[in-house]
Amino acid sequence: MPAGETRMTKARKAVSRLVGGIQCGLGGLASVFAYLVYASPSTQEALAITPGEIYLYMFLFLVFGMLSILSGLLLVNEEEGAS
């Protein structure tokens, strides 16, 4: 172990990277789901989305997806910079 790095610090870094990776994955899935809401009439029908609401749902899923990806990347990169 490098000087000053405790077992707890290593565990915190590992958990932070794991959570950041999961957040990035969920953000990517939300972005893909936004496209599916737009492109797939069967998805629109299954979720009971009217044609007027399609763009609202797309916007909400894309915003959630982008914020999740950004947050996940910040978690991963913060811990890499702290190494």
pLDDT above 60 for 82: no
pLDDT digits (tens, 9 = 90+) for 5-39: 788 888 888 899 999 999 999 999 999 999 999 99
pLDDT digits (tens, 9 = 90+) for 40-68: 999 999 999 999 999 999 999 999 999 99
Task: Tell me how far apart the alpha carbons of residues 81 and 20 are, in angstroms, rounded to a whole number.
Answer: 14
Is there a contact between 61 and 37 (Cβ–Cβ < 8 Å)?
Answer: yes
Residue 69 pLDDT grade (very low, low, confident, very high; cuts 50, 70, 90): very high
Q: Taken in order 33, 38, 44, 50, is the CA torsion positive or negative?
A: positive
From the DSSP assignment, how many helices (H) and strands (E) are in the chain?
3, 0
Q: What is the pLDDT of residue 56?
A: 94
